C-alpha cells in the first residue's frame, strides 16, 4: 500500500481550505514560523533573477546555483554518463533554472571534452524569453593544457566560464603537489592570467582543500588571483572536514580579509564526508557566499556533495526568516523529474528517506502523524509535494488503466513533468497497455518505472525482442533470447545457466560479444502485490580484453556502467537492465562490434553452451 498523503494542488478547493485554516494573527511564534514558511503558500512570490554579470550580483539577496552533477557528480564510482545522457541532464538543469552548469573536466578524456562542447553549443546557446541562458563551465587544473582544453570546450557557449583549481592546504601542497606555498601562488596567478589571455572573462578559482588550509594563506592567494582576473572565488571543503560554524566563519573571514573580495562573487563547495554538506553550504550562504555549488541528489566524490534540492528548498522554506531573505532562480517544480533522471542515468539510487526527493519524503506512516495530516497538513509537512513537481493521480482525477488512451497518458505524464515527443509517447503507450492488461490500474510509481525503462535509457544499439526461459528443479535452466541489433537484423542466442537470469545473460553475451563482468545486480518491486512491476539495476564493467576504446585514443576503458529495466516479468526486467548497460558501454566507447567480430546476418542463430 502506498502510504503517501499528498497535499492538494494550489488553487484547488482543498488548498484554499488550507489557507483559511492558517493560524490566527497572533499564534505562538514557533507555529507562526512553521506555517508561514510553508513554501507552497508562498510559491507565487518567486523573485526576479538579476542580469548576469560574472563578477557581481546586483541583487544582494540573490544566490547563484552552480550545479556540478556532470562533473563532481560523475566522479561517483559507477556513475559514468554517456555524452547523450549528459546533454539530456544539462537540458533538464536549464529547465530547472540553474545559473551555472559545470559540464565536465574537458582534459580528462576526448569524450569529456566533446560532451562539454556539445552542451556549450546546445544548452549554452538557448536564451529564454527572460534572457536567461545558463553559464557553461569547464574544470581545469592549474596548467595550460587543462585550461586550453576547458576553453576549447566552453567557449562555444554564450556565457563560458573556466574553473581552475589548485590545492592550498599544507597536506596537499607538501604530499600531492610537492610545491611550496610561494610556487602555488605563482602557478595560480599565472594560470588565471593565462585563462584571461585566451579571452575568458568569467574565471572561477578554487583553492582546493580550503577547509583545511591556513586562512592567512588563503587571503593571500585569493587576493593575487583576483588581481590576475578571477571573478568568482570558490571555497571548497574538499574532504568535508569543517563544521557549519567553522565554515561560515571561514567565508566571513575571507570576505573581510581578502583585498578585492568585494569585487567578486564568493562561492561554497561542500563535500559530505561528515554528512554536513548542506548545513555547511547554508552556513556559507548566511555568511555572505552568493554562489552555492551543489549536485542533484547530492551525488559526488566519496560521500557526495551538498544536494541541490536540499539547499534550494531550505532557502525557499527558511530563506526569508533565517537567511536574510535569500532567494534563488530555481523552479522547484522540476526537482522531482530532474532527480529521477539523474538517478536513472547514473544508476545511483536515491535512498527512501533522502530529504526532499526520497520515496518517503512525503509519506506518513504512523497513526498520530496520519491523524494530524488528515486534520491539517501543516502539522507534519513544511512543504507540499507539488512544490517539487509531484502530483497524485487521485488529485488529478485521472486513473490510468487498460481502458485509458494516449491523451490520458500524455496528460498524466505532463502533470508529472515529463514532456515526450510523439514517437517516445507511442513506445511508452505500448508498454503501458501491455502492463495495464495485467494490472487493474497503474500508479505513478509504476508509470515512472516504465518511463525510466523507455525514456531515460542510453541510445539503443541492442534491444530485447523476445525471451523464453525454462527453469526449475527438473533440469538445466535454459534461455533463448531474440535481440534486434545495430544493423536492424534480428539475432537469436541460446544458453544454459545456473538459473534463468544467468542463462539469459549468457544468451545475450553470445549475441553482443562484449566481455563484461557483472558487478552488481538488484531488483525491487515498484509497488506491492503479485502483479507488481519489477525494477532491475545492474552495474557492469567492460573488461580489458574488450575492443572498447575512447573515441580518440586506444586506451582500454575501465569504467563501470549501470543499466536499468522494468517489467512485470522478473527475468524480462533483468535482461532489459543488462542490455541497457551493454548499450551504455557501446555508446560510451563507440565500439559497436564490427560485422566481422559479431554474428553474421546469415548466421542469425547463435547457440552458446558456455
Ligand X SMILES: CC(=O)SCCNC(=O)CCNC(=O)[C@H](O)C(C)(C)COP(=O)(O)OP(=O)(O)OC[C@H]1O[C@@H](n2cnc3c(N)ncnc32)[C@H](O)[C@@H]1OP(=O)(O)O
Ligand Y SMILES: CC(C)C(=O)C(=O)O
Taking the complex as a whole, the smallest distance from the CB of residue 272 to ligand Y amounts, in Å, to 10
Choice between 187 and 504, CB closer to ligand X = 187
| Selection from 423, 472, 455 nearest residue 564 by Cα | 455
CB 541 within 8 A of CB 560: yes
Among 143, 155, 322, 490, contact with ligand X (rule: CB under 6 A): 143
> 206 contacts which partner out of ligand Y, Mg ion, ligand X, none, CB within 5 to 8 A by kind?
ligand Y
* Residue 238 binds to ligand X (criterion: CB under 6 A): yes
Binding status of residue 208 toward Mg ion by CB under 5 A? no
User: Nearest residue to ligand Y, using CB?
Assistant: 236
Could you say whether residue 148 binds ligand X (CB under 6 A)? no
Beta-ladder partners of 477: 497
Residue-by-residue DSSP string for 337-367 = HHHHHHHHHH--PPPTT-TTTSTTTTB--SH
Smallest distance from the beta carbon of 234 to ligand Y, in angstroms? 6
Partner residues linked to 515 by β-bridges: none
> Considering only 72-80, 313-321, 415-423, 580-588, which stretch makes contact with Mg ion by CB under 5 A?
72-80
Q: Determine the Cα–Cα distance for residues 396 and 398; give it in Å rounded to an integer.
A: 6
- Contact between 497 and 523 under an 8 Å Cβ cutoff? The reply is no
Taking CB atoms, the residue at the shortest distance from Mg ion is 72
Does residue number 186 form part of the binding site for ligand X (CB under 6 A)?
no
Shortest Å distance, C-beta 571 to Mg ion: 40
Give the one residue of 4, 172, 269, 316 binding ligand Y; rule: CB under 6 A: 269
What grid cell was written down for 339?
A: 532527480
Contact string 267-286 vs Mg ion (x = CB under 5 A) = --------------------
Within 8 A by CB and 6+ apart from 488, the residues are: none
Among 80, 238, 307, 339, binds ligand Y (CB under 6 A): 238
Q: Which of 15, 52, 62, 165 binds ligand Y (CB under 6 A)?
A: 165
Of the candidates 32, 177, 355, 445, which one interacts with ligand X according to CB under 6 A?
Answer: 177
Instruction: Confirm if 35 and 23 have CB atoms less than 8 A apart.
Output: yes
Smaller CB distance to ligand X: residue 295 or 457?
295
Rounded CA Rg of the chain: 26
* Helix-helix angle 110-122:83-96, to 10 degrees: 40
Pick one of 67, 72, 99, 444: the residue that binds Mg ion (CB under 5 A).
Answer: 72
Measured CA to CA, the distance from residue 455 to residue 92 in angstroms comes to: 14
Q: Cβ 542 to ligand X, closest distance in Å? A: 17
With beta carbons less than 8 A apart as the criterion, state whether 303 and 275 touch.
yes
Question: Applying CB under 6 A, which part among 140-148, 246-254, 385-393, 541-549 lies near ligand X?
Answer: 140-148
Answer for the pair 90, 103: CB distance below 8 angstroms, yes or no: yes
Vertex 119, ends 115 and 125: CA angle to 5°? 155
β 441-442/605-607 pair status = unpaired
Please identify which residue in 41, 102, 111, 301 interacts with ligand X, judged by CB under 6 A: 301
CB of 549 to ligand X, least distance (A): 15
72 binds ligand Y (CB under 6 A): yes
Piece of 71-79, 329-337, 383-391, 552-560 that binds Mg ion (CB under 5 A) = 71-79
Residues 172 to 231 in contact with ligand Y, rule: CB under 6 A? 206, 208
Q: Is 141 in the site for ligand X (CB under 6 A)?
A: yes
Count residues binding ligand X (CB under 6 A).
Answer: 15
From candidates 109, 169, 213, 271, binder to ligand Y by CB under 6 A: 271
Of 95 and 302, which has the nearer Cβ to ligand Y? 302
Q: Alpha-carbon torsion 186, 189, 191, 197, what sign?
A: negative
CB of 68 to Mg ion, least distance (A): 7
Q: Does 75 sit near ligand X (CB under 6 A)?
A: yes
297 CA to centre of own chain: 6
CA nearest to 187, candidates 140, 254, 255: 140
Nine-digit cell at 97?
Answer: 533554472
Place of cell 507488481: 532
Taking Cα atoms as reference points, which of 11, 27, 29 lies closest to residue 19?
11
Which parts of 545-584 interact with ligand X (CB under 6 A)?
none
**Which is closer to ligand Y, CB of 35 or CB of 154?**
154
Per-residue binding letters, 83-122, with ligand X (x by CB under 6 A): ----------------------x-xx--------------
Angle in degrees, CA 254, 323, 260, rounded to 5: 25
| Residue 34 main-chain phi, psi, to 5 deg | -60, -50
Q: Is 67 exposed, middle or buried (0-12, 13-18, 19+ CB in 10 A)?
A: buried
The smaller minimum CB distance to ligand Y, of residues 305 and 567, is found at: 305
Q: Is position 236 an interface residue for ligand Y (rule: CB under 6 A)? A: yes
Could you tell me if 299 and 345 are in contact, meaning their C-beta atoms sit under 8 angstroms apart?
no
Task: Retrieve residue 156's grid coordinates.
Answer: 562555444
Residue number with CB closer to Mg ion (72 or 344): 72
Q: Which of 57, 79, 137, 142 binds ligand X (CB under 6 A)?
A: 142
- Name the one residue in this structure whose C-alpha cell is 542469425: 604
Dist CA 378 CA 381 (whole Å): 5
Min dist. Cβ of residue 230 to ligand X (A): 14
State in angstroms the smallest separation of the CB of 139 from ligand Y: 6
176 binds ligand X (CB under 6 A): yes
Give the footprint of Mg ion on this chain (CB under 5 A).
72
Report the interface residues with ligand Y, using CB under 6 A. Answer: 72, 139, 165, 206, 208, 234, 236, 238, 269, 271
Give the interface with ligand X as residue ranges (CB under 6 A): 72, 75, 105, 107-108, 141-143, 165-166, 176-177, 208, 238, 301
Amino acid at each position: 500500500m502506498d502510504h503517501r498523503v499528498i497535499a492538494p494542488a494550489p488553487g484547488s478547493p482543498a488548498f484554499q481550505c488550507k489557507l483559511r485554516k492558517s493560524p490566527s494573527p497572533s499564534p505562538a511564534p514557533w507555529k507562526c514560523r512553521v506555517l508561514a514558511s510553508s513554501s507552497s503558500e508562498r510559491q507565487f512570490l518567486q523573485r526576479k533573477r538579476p542580469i548576469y554579470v560574472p563578477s557581481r550580483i546586483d541583487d544582494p539577496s540573490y544566490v547563484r546555483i552552480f550545479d556540478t552533477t556532470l562533473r563532481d557528480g560523475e566522479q561517483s564510482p559507477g556513475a559514468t554518463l554517456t555524452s547523450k545522457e549528459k546533454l539530456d541532464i544539462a537540458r533538464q538543469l536549464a529547465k530547472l533554472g540553474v545559473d551555472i552548469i559545470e559540464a565536465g573536466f574537458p582534459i580528462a578524456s576526448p569524450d569529456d571534452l566533446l560532451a562539454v562542447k556539445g552542451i556549450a553549443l546546445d544548452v549554452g546557446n538557448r536564451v529564454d524569453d527572460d534572457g536567461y541562458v545558463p553559464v557553461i563551465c569547464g574544470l581545469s587544473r592549474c596548467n595550460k593544457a587543462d585550461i586550453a582544453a576547458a576553453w576549447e570546450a566552453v567557449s562555444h557557449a554564450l556565457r563560458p566560464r573556466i574553473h581552475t583549481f589548485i590545492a592550498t592546504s599544507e597536506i596537499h601542497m607538501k604530499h600531492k603537489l610537492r610545491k611550496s606555498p610561494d610556487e602555488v601562488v605563482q602557478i595560480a596567478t599565472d594560470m588565471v592570467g593565462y585563462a584571461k589571455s585566451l579571452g575568458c572573462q568569467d574565471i572561477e578559482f578554487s583553492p582546493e582543500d580550503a577547509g583545511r588550509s591556513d586562512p592567512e594563506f588563503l587571503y593571500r592567494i585569493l587576493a593575487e588571483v583576483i588581481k590576475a582576473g578571477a571573478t568568482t572565488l570558490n571555497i571548497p571543503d574538499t574532504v568535508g572536514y569543517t563544521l557549519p560554524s567553522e565554515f561560515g566563519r571561514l567565508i566571513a573571514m575571507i570576505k573581510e580579509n581578502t583585498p578585492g573580495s568585494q569585487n567578486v562573487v564568493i562561492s561554497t563547495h561542500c563535500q559530505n564526508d561528515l554528512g554536513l554538506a548542506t548545513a555547511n553550504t547554508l552556513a556559507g550562504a548566511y555568511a555572505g557566499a552568493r554562489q552555492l555549488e551543489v549536485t542533484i541528489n547530492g551525488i559526488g566524490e566519496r560521500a557526495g556533495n551538498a544536494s541541490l534540492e536540499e539547499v534550494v528548498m531550505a532557502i525557499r522554506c527558511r530563506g526569508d526568516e533565517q537567511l536574510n531573505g535569500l532567494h534563488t532562480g530555481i523552479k522547484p517544480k522540476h526537482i522531482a523529474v530532474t532527480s529521477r533522471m539523474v538517478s536513472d542515468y547514473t544508476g545511483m539510487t536515491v535512498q527512501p528517506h533522502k530529504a526532499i526527493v526520497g520515496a518517503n519524503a512525503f509519506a506518513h506512516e504512523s497513526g498520530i502523524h496520519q491523524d494530524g495530516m488528515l486534520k491539517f497538513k501543516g502539522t507534519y509537512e513544511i512543504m507540499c509535494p507539488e512544490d517539487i513537481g509531484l502530483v497524485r493521480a487521485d488529485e488529478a482525477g485521472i486513473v490510468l488503466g487498460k481502458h485509458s488512451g494516449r491523451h490520458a497518458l500524455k496528460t498524466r505524464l505532463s502533470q508529472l513533468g515529463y514532456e515526450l515527443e510523439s514517437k517516445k509517447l507511442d513506445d511508452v503507450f505500448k508498454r503501458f497497455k501491455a502492463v495495464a492488461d495485467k494490472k487493474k490500474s497503474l500508479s505513478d510509481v509504476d508509470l515512472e518505472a516504465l518511463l525510466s525503462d523507455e525514456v531515460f535509457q542510453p541510445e539503443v544499439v541492442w534491444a530485447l525482442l523476445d525471451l523464453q526461459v525454462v527453469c526449475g528443479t527438473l533440469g538445466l535452466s535454459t534461455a533463448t533470447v531474440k535481440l534486434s541489433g545495430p544493423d536492424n537484423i534480428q539475432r537469436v542466442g541460446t544458453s544454459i545457466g545456473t538459473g534463468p537470469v544467468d542463462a539469459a545473460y549468457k544468451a545475450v553475451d553470445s549475441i553482443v560479444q562484449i566481455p563484461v563482468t557483472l558487478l552488481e545486480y538488484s531488483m525491487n518491486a515498484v509497488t506491492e502485490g503479485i502483479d507488481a512491476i519489477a525494477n532491475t539495476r545492474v552495474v557492469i564493467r567492460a573488461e580489458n580484453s574488450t575492443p572498447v576504446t575512447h573515441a580518440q585514443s586506444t586506451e582500454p576503458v575501465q569504467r563501470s556502467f549501470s543499466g536499468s529495466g522494468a517489467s512485470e516479468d522478473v527475468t524480462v526486467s533483468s535482461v532489459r537492465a543488462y542490455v541497457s548497460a551493454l548499450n551504455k558501454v557501446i555508446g560510451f566507447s563507440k565500439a559497436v562490434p564490427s560485422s566481422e567480430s559479431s554474428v553474421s546476418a546469415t548466421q542469425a542463430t547463435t547457440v552458446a553452451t558456455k
